[in-house]
Every structure is written in C-alpha cells, then in structure tokens.
Chains A and B, each alone.
Chain A
Amino acid sequence: MRIVYNPYTTLLQGIEQDRQALNTAMSQVSTGQKFNSIGADPQAVAGVIENNFEAANLDRYTQSVSSLQSQFQAAGSALDSVTQALTTTIGLGVQGANGTLNQNQRDAVAAQVSQIEQQVLGYANSRYQGTYLFAGTATTTQPYVQDSAPSSGIQYVGNTETNTVEIGDAQSVQQNLPGSTIFNASGADVFKGFNDLITTLQSGDTAGISNATSELQAAFSNVGLQRTFYSSTLQNLNTASYTLSQEQTNLTVQQNNLLAADPATAITNMTQDQVALDAALAAAGKVDQNSLLNYLK
C-alpha cells in the first residue's frame, strides 16, 4: 500500500485536541463549574435552570415568612399591651365596685379607666409599615374612630376580610384578624366594656360597675383567645422558616452536583492535559524531516 508521509496533519489535530481539553480543564479550575455553556450538558442545564427557579421560589417564600414574622410580632405585641391594659382596668373595676369608695374617688378611677381606654384605642389602631394591623383588608383606613352612634362611643370602620399569604408550595397562612373579631366580639366588646365601666363609675352604680367589669373580663378572655392566633401562626412561620432554610441547603447541594466541578479532579485533569499537550508539542518538534532524498548521493 502506498503511504505518503505527512505527519503534520495528525500532529496538528492532536495538539488542537489537547489544547481544547486543557482549556476545558482550566475553565473548570478557574470557574469552579463543570461546564460553562448550555451545549456542554443540556440535560444538566435544564436541571440547573429548574433549580434556579425553585431557589427563587424558596427565596420569595422566605421573604414572605420574614415579612409576616415581623408583622405578627408587631400585632402580638399590641395585643399583649391590650391584655395588660384590660387586666389593669379589671382591677380598677373591682376597686370601683367596692362600696368604701366615695364618688370623688370613683370619678378619679373613671378618669384613669378613660385614659386606659385611649391607650387601648391606640393599640387597636396599631400600624405596621404604614398599614393598620386590625382593619381587616381596609388597611389604609384607621379602623377605630370616636363616634357617638354606638353605645361604646367608638366605631369600627374596618372590614371583616382577611388576607392569605403563601409561605410554601401549597402552604399558606392567614395574615390577619379583623379588629371586630378581637375587640368587638358579641358579649365581649372591649370598648363597650370600657364605656360601661366609665359610665357606671361616674354614676356610682356599683352593680353596674360589677357588670361592666364582667364585660371587660369577657373581652379580656376573647382578646387572649385571639392572641393565640398570632402566637400559633408565628410558631408556624418559624417552623416554615427553618424548613425553607433546609430546602435551600438541599437545593444548593443539588445545584453543586449538577454544576460544580470537583476541584481535585479538575486540577488532575488540567495537569494531565498539560502533560499531553507538552508531549504533542515535543513530538511535533522531533518529527523526522528526512526522506530518501537525504541519502541519495
């Protein structure tokens, strides 16, 4: 068989392949990624993109959880203050029903109760980041206003709607309780209790004072009951936050499996490719350029 001696084509192809392999290995070492183009491993790229979407999903749930945690802490804190105020007021009611107090003293107690009522009114109108916490979904409207129409003298002008926020795939929590559920429950109306207590203290109606105190005790119980919504949901949010953090970690591991280059392997490959390239270049330098022409005399 006739063979034409032409080593350069093969050598050049070899050098080209070695350089390509070395470039890939160097890229893996320098970027820490197995591949840097979508054509290198399309299946893995699809996985990487899906993971990125999922990571963004987890991120949004995490942000929502974080935002809700702050909001629930603010609401819980306001209700804690309300229960403290009610406890104080109930004590004052018991004191006012005591027959040993004269009217002047009852008037002084009434004035004190009135001050507390204003504080509670402030808590009922609590705001978080510019929105009213107990207004239902009418969050830009102050929910409790002074109004002579109701017997309590304070009108609820929020609504009875609630919002829901997603904190995971197919997992959501109720974001709020309307103020009417907390402060205006039937038979446990906070402001009616305050108003009745003040009125009866001022009129010296000890039986009425006792009744008003009982109303406030019922309101206290209801506020405490509604307070558990915030504490239990906050607990759920804390659990969700931990779960989301775990999922983020798992996702990072998955992403690394898909994309991250193993540094030891990458460096070993780079060294091997460098040796192969050096060998190919050395071989090219030592190509025998002789032919029969060199030996004919």
Chain B
Amino acid sequence: MGGLTGSLEIAMQSLLAQQGALEVTSNNISNAHTPGYSRQTPVLVEDPSINEGSLVFGEGVSLQQIKSVRDNVLQLQLNQETGTQSQVNAYLGGMNQVATVFNETQGAGLQNVISQFFNSFQQLSTNPTDATLRQAVLTAGQNLATAFNQASASLGQIRTGLDQSVVQDVAQVNQLTSQIAALNPQIAEAQGIGQSANSLIDQRNDLISQLSGLVNTSVTDAGNGYVTVSTADGAPLVVGNQSFALTAQLDTQTGTEHVFSQGTPSYPGAPGTDITASIQSGDLGGLIQARDQGVASAQTNLDNLTAGIISSVNAQQARGYDLSGKAGAAFFTGSSSSNIAVANNFLSSQIAASSDGTVGSNGNALALANIQNDPIVNGQNPGDFYSNFVAGIGNQVSTATSQQTAVGLVMTQLQNQQTNISGVSLDEEAANLELYQNAYNASAQVVAAINTLTQTTINMATGA
C-alpha cells in the first residue's frame, strides 16, 4: 500500500493522462477540416494493480497510445473509386472537346459542306456549260476540303492537349511517388521506436489517394511501416524508400506520348516497359483513353469519310469529260482529312460534267451529285456514315456523362462513410473535452485533498 504518496502518484498520473487526452481532443478539433486527417482517440488504460496481502490496489490510469481511426478497406475502395472518377472526368473532358468539333446542333460540323458540295454538281447538271455554276462547284469543293482540314486540325489540337496533360500527369505521379518513398522510412522509424506515426500515415494515405486519382495503383503493406506501390499491372512505383519514376516519351509511330515504367529486376519486362495500354484508371487512364480511343476513332472515321469522298469523286471525274472533251482529271488530291485539297491549278472547265464528251451533256454531273447517295464509306452513303459517326461521339459523351454521375454518387457515399468513421465530430470532441476536463479537475481535487491530508500529518508530527 502506497499510502498518501501512492495516492498522490495515482492522481498525478491521472492528471498527465487526462492532459494527454485533452491534447488529442484539441488536435482533433484543430484538424476538423484538414483534408486526409483521421480523427485520433486517446487509449487510456488501467495501470496494473498491486496486491498487498488479500487486498488489491489499483494503480491509476495511463495514456497508453494515441490511435488514428481509419478503415483501410474503405480507404482502398475510395482510392479505386477516385481513380475511376478521375478517369471518367478526364475522358469526358476530352470527348466533350471532340463533340464540339462536330456539334451539328450549333451549326458546327461537316453536314453543310458535304451537302453543298454534292448539290453544286446537281446545280451544274441543269446547265453544264455555265461558268458561274462551274465556279460554284470549285468553291464548294474548296470549302469542303477546308472544313475537313479544320476538323482534322481541331482533333489534332485536342490530341496535343491531351498529350501535354499526359506529360504533366506523369510528372505529378513522380512527385507523389517520391514523397511516398520519403515517408515510408520515416513511418517505419517512428513505429520502430514506439512513437506515433499517425500524422505521417495520414499524409501518406492522402498522397496515395492523390496518386490513385492519377493512375491505377496497387498498394500493399510491406510490413514495418512500409508500403509498396505499383501500377495495376505490376510496374513498381514505390518500393521501400525508393521511388521509380515513370517517363513520358514520344512514340514515333503514333506521334503521341507513351508512358514507360522504370522497372525493377522483379518486374517482368523491366526496365523501360511501355505501360501506356495498361493504364486504364485515374486521370492518366482517362486522358489516354480519350486520346487513343475517342480522338483516334473520330480521326479514323473522319479520314475514312474523306478517303471515300476523294476516291469516289475522282473516279467519277475520270468517267466523264471536261469542257474541252478530255477525260476528267482528279478533282481532289490527298488521302485523308488533314491533306484533302482541290487539285492544284484545277480549273472549273476541268469539271467533267459531260458523260459523252459533248459540252452540254450533264450525265456525269448528275453521277457526281449522286455520289452522296452511294455507299462509299464502309457500305454507307456519306450522309448516313456522318450522322452515325457524330451520333457515336454523342453516345460516348452521353455514356461517360451518366457514368460520371453514377461514380459521383458512389464517391459521395464512400466519402460520407469515411467521414462518419474517420472524420472529426465537434459534438463528440466537445463531450470528450468536458469529460477529460472533469477528470482532470477531479484528479486535481485529489491532489489538493492529499496535500491537505499530508499537511495534517505533518502538523501532527510537529505538534502544530
């Protein structure tokens, strides 16, 4: 039995414990709105009791540890959903730009120039020798070529913009992985000497969450406070205290930036593996999907339409005769939307309106006009192909928009769940504050009481 001194020690221990608990509460309140912060709880434990004869005396309370409250499974889900949300947002951003190029609801797009071009041949058929009508065909052809060139250039600009974002994302990934790699040993060291690494773990979790927003990642606990981070297909990003930077390199075949992993001996295909195709989540995944699928598909369709028009118009030209009775020369040059042009020095008199060599014949002009009804692109006429092509882009935007809404709802739910688990409740902290304050006050009262008793005892000894 410790007597008054023992009681004093228990009270003092309690004061320290309550003080620590108050400190945790204060810290929680301070970080109530700090992103990535997980609320902390003081773990108060009863000190081991001591036996004196048949009596068992309690030895008070100690603040054993300060614990962060977090749900790792939920955090994992959040990271995955963050990746999906970023991917959808980035993809939709790119596709919305593509949709703007062909926004027929606002008068943009190619329907008008295609119609005007073929209709100019129809007009010419009413008077095949008319110089004005011939010039109108030439102008309509130039307008068509220019519009296709511009659409192609716009798609190219979108692709370039997405490419630049890929490079920026790769730089951001590298910055985040180097920060995670720096935190790994700090956490391990703190845990190794029994110190709390809660704030460092919060920081690392926040960085991993940001990383998930950029690229699909897999995080594994390597033990001793370390985590290993890799891309979904195993390309290492952080191992131990080392980060492995991704690099963006221009692919000469496609003319776009590809992402390469640095690799480690344990990663198959490393080093320098092109992991572009395997990045399917995060902002990077969305950018690559928009660039390599959305924009590329639009470009291919546009080029197919252009090639169909060029080849069929030129072939039909060759079947007819111009004003001088010569077989029709090629009207268009080029092979794709980027380089289609009316043939250099092509004169309006060279339009092969005649089907038999007589100047007033209009048979070939009609045939040229009717190309718009012929299945010249993937078994479809230019109008049907174009409307399906534009509707296809619209469908991609529409699907991605729906997906964006759905992912947003899931994210909100997960974030609410996480907030309910790890977020700071000011009500709860107020209650705790009151609780620990009361406990502190009570312990202080005990100290005061023991002080009085001690004084009384001393007075007894001195006869005061």
Contact A6 B359 (CB under 8 A): no
Distance of A291 Cα from B28 Cα, bound (Å): 15
Out of B96, B123, B130, B361, which one reaches A163, CB within 8 Å? B361
Out of B122, B393, B398, which one reaches A40, CB within 8 Å? B398
A49 and B115 in contact, given A3-B420, A165-B362 (Cβ under 8 angstroms): no
A135 touches B (CB below 8 Å)? yes
Nearest-CB residue, chain A, relative to B398:
A39
B401 touches A (CB below 8 Å)? yes
Name, among A5, A46, A49, A135, the residue most crowded by chain B CB atoms within 10 Å (CB to CB).
A49
B143 to chain A, nearest CB (A): 14
A38 and B390 in contact, given A45-B104, A140-B359, A163-B360 (Cβ under 8 angstroms): yes
Contact B391 A45 (CB under 8 A): yes
A144 to chain B, nearest CB (A): 16
A60 and B122 in contact, given A37-B103, A38-B391 (Cβ under 8 angstroms): yes
Contact A4 B393 (CB under 8 A): no
B99 CB contacts on chain A under 8 angstroms: 37-39
Q: Which residues of chain A from 239 to 294 have a CB within 8 Å of any chain B CB?
A: 259, 291-293
B372 CB contacts on chain A under 8 angstroms: 53, 57
A130 to chain B, nearest CB (A): 7
Distance of A39 Cα from B359 Cα, bound (Å): 48
Distance of A175 Cα from B362 Cα, bound (Å): 10
Contact B130 A49 (CB under 8 A): no
B49 touches A (CB below 8 Å)? no
Q: State the main secondary structure of chain B at its contact with A.
A: helix
B396 CB contacts on chain A under 8 angstroms: 39
A40 CB contacts on chain B under 8 angstroms: 105, 394, 398
Distance of A217 Cα from B127 Cα, bound (Å): 33
Distance of A131 Cα from B395 Cα, bound (Å): 51
B147 touches A (CB below 8 Å)? no
Contact B130 A130 (CB under 8 A): yes
A166 and B130 in contact, given A43-B391, A45-B104, A64-B122 (Cβ under 8 angstroms): no
Contact A38 B388 (CB under 8 A): no
Out of B116, B119, B366, which one reaches A165, CB within 8 Å? B366
Q: Which size class do A's interface residues fall under?
A: 35 or more
B377 CB contacts on chain A under 8 angstroms: none
Contact B430 A4 (CB under 8 A): no
Q: Which size class do B's interface residues fall under?
A: 35 or more
A1 touches B (CB below 8 Å)? yes
The 8 A CB mask of A32-61 against B (1 = contact, 0 = none) is 010111111111011011101100110111
Contact B434 A296 (CB under 8 A): yes
Contact A39 B358 (CB under 8 A): no
Contact A6 B360 (CB under 8 A): no
Contact B103 A38 (CB under 8 A): yes
Q: Which residues of chain A from 163 to 192 have a CB within 8 Å of any chain B CB?
A: 163-166, 175
Contact B427 A5 (CB under 8 A): yes
A26 to chain B, nearest CB (A): 16
Distance of A64 Cα from B287 Cα, bound (Å): 49
B397 touches A (CB below 8 Å)? yes
A165 CB contacts on chain B under 8 angstroms: 125-126, 362, 366
Contact A292 B112 (CB under 8 A): no
Q: Which residues of chain B from 360 to 382 have a CB within 8 Å of any chain A CB?
A: 360-363, 366, 369-370, 372
Distance of A20 Cα from B236 Cα, bound (Å): 41
A100 CB contacts on chain B under 8 angstroms: none
B9 touches A (CB below 8 Å)? no
Q: Which residues of chain B from 413 to 429 have a CB within 8 Å of any chain A CB?
A: 415-416, 419-421, 423-429
B387 to chain A, nearest CB (A): 4
Out of A37, A135, A175, A293, which one reaches B126, CB within 8 Å? A175
Contact A52 B130 (CB under 8 A): no
Distance of A181 Cα from B384 Cα, bound (Å): 43
Distance of A164 Cα from B370 Cα, bound (Å): 13
Contact A2 B425 (CB under 8 A): yes
The 8 A CB mask of B92-111 against A (1 = contact, 0 = none) is 00011001101111100101
Contact B433 A56 (CB under 8 A): no
Contact B358 A49 (CB under 8 A): no
Further pairs besides A5-B425, A52-B104, A166-B366: 14, Cβ < 8 Å: A3-B425, A39-B393, A43-B391, A45-B387, A46-B387, A46-B394, A49-B386, A52-B111, A53-B383, A56-B115, A131-B127, A135-B360, A291-B427, A293-B433
17 A-B contacts (beta carbon < 8 Å): A38-B390, A45-B104, A49-B383, A49-B391, A52-B104, A53-B114, A60-B118, A71-B126, A137-B356, A139-B359, A161-B360, A165-B126, A165-B362, A291-B430, A292-B426, A292-B430, A293-B429
**B residues in contact (CB < 8 Å) with A:** 95-96, 99-100, 102-106, 109, 111-112, 114-116, 118-119, 122-123, 125-130, 354, 356, 358-363, 366, 369-370, 372, 383-384, 386-388, 390-398, 401, 412, 415-416, 419-421, 423-431, 433-434
**A residues in contact (CB < 8 Å) with B:** 1-6, 9, 13, 33, 35-43, 45-46, 48-50, 52-53, 56-57, 59-61, 63-64, 67-68, 71, 129-131, 135-140, 159, 161, 163-166, 175, 259, 291-293, 296
